A = this chain, B = another copy of it.
Amino acid sequence: MSNPTKENIADWFKGLQDSICERLEILDGKSGFVEDQWERSEGGGGRTRTIKDGDLIEKGGVNFSAVFGPTPSKILEALKLEKSDFFATGVSIVLHPKNPWVPIIHMNVRYFEMDTGTWWFGGGIDLTPHIVVTERARMFHKSLKEVCDKHNESYYKDFKRWADDYFYLGHRKETRGVGGIFFDRLTEKEQITKLDRWEFVKEVGLSFVPIYTDAVAKLRDKEWSEEDKLWQGLRRGRYVEFNLVHDKGTKFGLDTDGRTESILVSMPPHAQWHYDFRPENQTHHKTQSLLKKGIDWINY
């Protein structure tokens, strides 16, 4: 097999969006995706697909985009790149479930290339339970490790730590959820070719639906209390804080005049803030205590 071109990658991502949306509609069983196609005046565009008021998913988005043109100066500065045209494509997903027992999930696969020849892949999958069910966190990490181990034995360890560091709310001194894997600027290195990186990124994309299906199984039908619903609202508040204060993708998107509605499709349907809330419910209290870096979920 030869190295993929940027067109190959964008086409494959587009197909991934199709297949994920199709399978998520089946999983949800009630609601369907609505598509908005959009164009970017400087070059390229995307397909934003949103779903709401489903049996499983209260609000979610599965975005595909492939954009190109002169690299915005803010990106050149932040990434310390020379002035040149760029091409960026990716699939990005955030699903907010109705049931507080079901975790929020986020997945992203992306490719970036400059006319100068510089290129890299990025992405990851991470889980944000409103209520941590430790056995499920273990299963989730085990699946990610399997995906990683097929490609490189250091990937899981490295990308798990990267996720712990990335999905961290410094101002709350807590992680966003139970983490997962995160990677960025993966390029050629020693024995690892561009094709190797691409095969790995494809595997991450393809693993999303089975991993999410496992993560929601049974939990989606679990009964919840008013207290759980409030806790979900407060945890969603933290999700908003992470995305608006810390998330680099969101910040770049908003800074560089990206399509706001597509970027903020990650926002939850509702969020709540109470002053200095301290959970009395034991399950919620335990969740709070597990929002920290460095937990070895596989052996938890």
- Interface of A with B (CB < 8 Å)? 36, 48, 50, 52, 59, 61, 170-172, 233, 237, 240-241, 244-245, 251, 254, 257, 260-261, 263-265, 267-276
Pair A254/B245 contact, Cβ less than 8 Å: yes
Pair B59/A275 contact, Cβ less than 8 Å: yes
- Residues of the B chain whose Cβ atoms lie less than 8 Å from the Cβ of A244: 240-241, 244-245
Question: Cα distance A98–B150 when bound, in Å?
Answer: 54
Which of B36, B251, B264, B273 sits near A273, CB closer than 8 Å? B264
Pair B273/A269 contact, Cβ less than 8 Å: yes
Of all chain B residues, which has the CB nearest A271? B271
Which of A50, A170, A254 neighbours the largest number of chain B CB atoms within 10 Å of its CB?
A254
Question: Cα distance A251–B171 when bound, in Å?
Answer: 10
Question: Cα distance A50–B268 when bound, in Å?
Answer: 25
Pair A271/B270 contact, Cβ less than 8 Å: yes
Name 21 A/B residue pairs within 8 A (Cβ), A-sorted: A48-B275, A50-B275, A50-B276, A52-B274, A52-B275, A170-B254, A171-B257, A171-B260, A237-B267, A240-B271, A241-B244, A244-B244, A244-B245, A245-B251, A261-B275, A261-B276, A267-B273, A268-B273, A270-B271, A270-B272, A271-B273
Which of A61, A257, A260 neighbours the largest number of chain B CB atoms within 10 Å of its CB?
A260
Question: Cα distance A264–B245 when bound, in Å?
Answer: 12
- Residues of the B chain whose Cβ atoms lie less than 8 Å from the Cβ of A254: 170-171, 245
Pair A270/B269 contact, Cβ less than 8 Å: no
Min CB distance, A264 to chain B, in Å? 7
Pair A276/B36 contact, Cβ less than 8 Å: yes
Pair B245/A275 contact, Cβ less than 8 Å: no
Closest 4 CB pairs of A and B: A267-B273, A244-B244, A171-B254, A50-B275
Question: Cα distance A269–B272 when bound, in Å?
Answer: 5
Question: Cα distance A244–B237 when bound, in Å?
Answer: 12
Min CB distance, A256 to chain B, in Å? 10
- Residues of the B chain whose Cβ atoms lie less than 8 Å from the Cβ of A36: 276
- Residues of the B chain whose Cβ atoms lie less than 8 Å from the Cβ of A257: 171
Of all chain B residues, which has the CB nearest A60? B275
Question: Cα distance A240–B243 when bound, in Å?
Answer: 12
- Residues of the B chain whose Cβ atoms lie less than 8 Å from the Cβ of A271: 240, 270-273
Question: Cα distance A36–B241 when bound, in Å?
Answer: 23
Pair B61/A275 contact, Cβ less than 8 Å: yes
Min CB distance, A276 to chain B, in Å? 5
With A171-B257, A241-B244 already in contact, 4 other A-B pairs whose C-beta atoms are closer than 8 Å: A48-B275, A269-B272, A270-B270, A271-B271
